[in-house]
Structure 1
Amino acid sequence: MGSLTLNDCVASDPSRSLLQRLYDRKTVQVQTLRWKIACRVTMSMGVKERTSSLVRMEDKRVFIFGVGYVGLAFARHLHSQAWNISGTCSSEDRRIAVQEAGFQTFLFNSNDGTNLSEERILALQNATHVLVSIPPVAELDGDLVLSTYKEQIYELARNTNLHWIAYLSSTGVYGDHHGEWVDERSEAMPVDKHGIARLNAEKEWLQLGHETGACIQIFRLGGVYGPGRSAIDTLLRSEGKSFKQRKRERRRYTSRIHISDVVQVLMAGIKSPCPGVIYNVVDDDPAPRSEVFSHARDLIHEKLPHLSHLMEQNNLESANVQDWYLTSSPEKRVSNLRIKNELKIKLIHPTYRSGLEAIVNGMSQ
């Protein structure tokens, strides 16, 4: 397995003093040592080292289970770097749209069963990287992908040409920590069936890595937003607010992450394929949803005044209702220090303010 080098991590900056540069170099040495130790400990538990973490240009083949909002953004980024991309969609209309975007896609949903086409199996078997972006089904005893493709996945996982499998989970697995900060070492104690299903799916994928030696990484995402899927877009829609959205009003803290930062974290995971590691993928500011929508309204009035009339008058709960909700809402603030320290991530949008402003600016052009 490849490791970071000092030249990769410490830029030559003549403006910094010799003492500062020596400090930077020592810091990188310590972080690299920690990374190597973590990987070796994981491998000693049953995860074997792959032949190489470096992927030749002609070997960059990714299979994405669930080319949805995140999967499609990831696919587009990889496509710009000459990757070969295959994946699945849950509906025929979606599959056709993604296929027209230039990606080989197959239909796959909970009713798909075990009727796997040879073409689909071949695309999966040839993958060097796999992203699993399909949420678990709470009523199903296990992960949907593993329950359907278990034989093929295990066969692929034992292949030393496979470099990386990423499972996209949710920060919802942490449950209620009474507003305290949590990190990847904190106890996961989900409070609903969806969170329990997520946690069980994580365990299944990690067990696969333990049994086969595959490099499995878990990414616990906060609420993903971006162009076409943000508070800005919700305010400008005319069909009204769903009950599901109203329930979210009760939270004091909501972890979120811009889609561009999700993509850069996944790319960093590919470059640092340390097996068995869990990463929180969230921004720096777990702000309440009401605060986010208030800022979104201000941005629309300021930069999109010609669309202000589309905003709904009663999109946010009243303060009294919101306060009443707080008594029963599971609360936690999710730390992102691991992706910063170990994957060297510098967030493109550290807060919702930066992310929303970028979205509005894109709409006003």
Structure 2
Amino acid sequence: MTATEPHGPCIFIVGCGDIGQRVARLELAAGNSVAALARSDDSARTLAARGIGPVWGDLDHPDTLNQLPAALATLYYFAPPPPTGGDDPRLRALLAALPAPPERVVYISTSGVYGDCQGAWIDEAAPLQPRTDRARRRVAAESALLAWSGRQGVPCIILRVPGIYGPGRLPVERIRQGVPVVHPAEAPYSNRIHADDLAAACRAAARQGRPGAAYNLSDGHPTTMTDYFQRVADALGLPRPPLVSLAEARRTFSPAMLSFLEESKRLDNRRMLEELSVVLRYPDLASGLPACLAEV
């Protein structure tokens, strides 16, 4: 596979999965040239079929990152850190391999960096208190990116994202399998954003995000994971998941699932709405879930 070298500054997406491709569609519709990192021929063909120029490279093998575009208008970095460790060598490798600094960087992080806030409403000034290794890697990545941004003089915008839902992203199989959820009275708060709104917010951040700022990207109407699963089940006409106590969940749920139950927070999204001028198409589950069902 050979690299695609765009003509002039381009939009470059690293981690061009579902959200990356949604952002790419918005950028292409605006008449911009879009390229994305691809680490396999299959990925390259998928990107090319969507009008996205594939650029070969594997973040886990920095020596392959030698064909990156020389002129970048916006670098969208959506790739996750590795599944282990306390840092994000993938992000560091990409930044080190860039032939020239981009005009700006938009980085997707996670709301997990705030840790457990015991159900409180929090804005972007809340302290970062990650409780999981996954969230600690994100904090390390944010710190590394901001330090690099300061040295290079490149505006960098950090987006702290909670659970994402949308067509093809609903927990359909889990509900069909009857996997239990925590009783509503004990369920912690969780936050969500529809995939289309997330993509639109990413593009808004690239255009008017404040350099060095972080933004909570959520629909502003947190509920609980239990409420979410019940609403999805109702929308699909499926039986609601069985309920268990939090104590029973702690005995039987996987560590990954438990990590979501041990944190409770409600994200304040006012900075996103006011500074990025984002108008949400789906400001709550009542409006967002029906839009997902056509592709289920």
Q: Scaled by the length of structure 1, what TM-score is found?
A: 0.69
The structural deviation recorded for 1:342 is: 1.4
SS in structure 1 of the partner of residue 72 of structure 2:
coil
Match in the other structure for 1:284: 220
Structure 2 residue ranges without an equivalent (≥5): 1-6, 251-257
Distance 2:228 2:181 in 1: 14
Tell me the residue number matched to 2:3: none
Q: Distance in 2 between matches of 1:99 and 1:134?
A: 19
Percent same amino acid at aligned positions? 24
Once the 2 structures are TM-superposed, how far is the Cα of residue 331 of structure 1 from its aligned partner? 1.4
* Corresponding residue number in structure 2 for 1:275: 211
The answer to whether the 8 Å contact 1:62/1:129 transfers is yes
Equivalent position of 1:131 in the other structure? 76
Q: Which runs of 5+ in 1 are unaligned?
A: 1-57, 302-310
Q: Name 1:74's counterpart in structure 2.
A: 23
Structure number having the greater helix percentage? 1
Q: Could you say what secondary structure the match of 2:64 adopts?
A: coil
Amino acid at match of 2:125: R
**Partner SS for 1:270:** helix
| Superposed displacement of residue 209, structure 1 | 1.3
1:185: Cα distance to partner?
A: 0.2
The equivalent of 1:156 in structure 2 is 100
Q: Secondary structure at the match of 2:245?
A: helix
1:268 shift after superposition? 1.6
Q: 1:177 maps to which residue?
A: 117
Q: What is the alpha-carbon distance in structure 2 between the residues aligned to residue 66 and residue 109 of structure 1?
A: 11
Trace 1:340-355 onto structure 2 (pairs within 5 A).
Answer: 340-355=273-288
Query: Which of 324, 331, 353 is equivalent to 2:264?
Result: 331
Which position in structure 2 is the counterpart of 1:87? 36
Instruction: Determine if the alignment matches structure 1 residue 100 to structure 2 residue 49.
Output: yes
- Structure of greater Rg: 1
- Alpha-carbon spacing, 1:350–1:207, altered in 2? closer, same or farther (3 Å): same
The letter of the residue matching 2:271 is R
CA-based RMSD of the aligned residues comes to 2.9
Contact 2:74/2:104 (CA < 8 Å) preserved in 1? Answer: yes
One-letter amino acid of the counterpart of residue 10, structure 2: R
Question: Please, which of 294, 297, 300 is the counterpart of residue 230 of structure 2?
Answer: 294
Q: Which piece of structure 1 moves more, 88-97 or 271-280? A: 88-97
Residues 1:222 and 2:166 aligned together: no
Greater strand proportion: 2
Query: 1:355 deviation in Å?
Result: 0.7
SS of residue paired to 1:156: coil
1:164 touches 1:273 (CA, 8 Å); kept in 2? Answer: no
Corresponding residue SS for 1:345: coil
